[in-house]
Chain A
Amino acid sequence: QKEVEQNSGPLSVPEGAIASLNCTYSDRGSQSFFWYRQYSGKSPELIMSIYSNGDKEDGRFTAQLNKASQYVSLLIRDSQPSDSATYLCAVIRSNDYKLSFGAGTTVTVRA
């Protein structure tokens, strides 16, 4: 079982729609969860962090965490062409504090 798994994608959404990205993790003791955005050829950029169950909103982005289900999600509302990128889910392991990444989901927003 992979430490962090994401829906494989690619995900194509029309401009203005909601993009929904999902992630599950295997370490039940994990307490810190992140979403990174990576444009092609660039380094990952931290866009959301979430530490407790529930929703966290930041602009057009909403992260959702359910520790009982070991599930993290990211919603992008009013998607824009500039949101076209690969989104990486990352989880800090509880035993050694290593940040483990999922394989990423590539999102394309169609104008």
Chain B
Amino acid sequence: EAGVTQSPTHLIKTRGQQATLRCSPISGHTSVYWYQQALGLGLQFLLWYDEGEERNRGNFPPRFSGRQFPNYSSELNVNALELEDSALYLCASSWGQGRGYTFGSGTRLTVV
């Protein structure tokens, strides 16, 4: 069974540009979660999508947005990139509320 897949692995952008990160959940999982992990910091919850709808978002500005497609894959968009957006962005999926999440390998975003 394929795990959670994320692309690209690494992404380098210039301040002010937009970044798009992609995630495919484990087959059968309908929920997709996005987390940010800045260097030396903990995992910060960004967004939760389930059945194509945004269910919850963390304390991040509106320039962080995303969507979930009918096949349950998801993309995270970060507009007007700032230097402090440099971090590891992790996508996770689960098969039900209250169950553990399985994480992908992440996308390392570097803003220069």
The count of residues in chain B whose C-beta lies closer than 8 Å to any C-beta of chain A is: 21
Bound Cα distance from A88 to B56, whole angstroms:
22
Contacts of B55 in A (CB 8 A): 96
Q: Is the CB of B42 within 8 A of A103?
A: yes
Contacts of A101 in B (CB 8 A): 42-43
Where the two chains meet, the residues of B that have a C-beta atom closer than 8 Å to any C-beta of A are: 33, 41-43, 45, 48, 55-56, 88, 90, 92, 97-106
Contacts of A96 in B (CB 8 A): 55-56
Q: Is the CB of A43 within 8 A of B42?
A: no
Where the two chains meet, the residues of A that have a C-beta atom closer than 8 Å to any C-beta of B are: 31-32, 34, 42-46, 49, 51, 88, 90, 92, 96-104
Contact of A99 among B33, B42, B88, B104 (CB under 8 A): B33
Which residue of the partner chain B has the closest CB to A2? B42
Bound Cα distance from A90 to B43, whole angstroms:
10
Q: Is the CB of B100 within 8 A of A88?
A: no
Shortest CB distance A51–B (Å): 8
Which residue of the partner chain B has the closest CB to A43? B103
Q: Is the CB of B42 within 8 A of A32?
A: no
Bound Cα distance from A101 to B103, whole angstroms:
13
Q: Is the CB of A98 within 8 A of B56?
A: yes
Shortest CB distance B97–A (Å): 5
Contacts of A43 in B (CB 8 A): 88, 90, 103-106
Bound Cα distance from A42 to B9, whole angstroms:
11
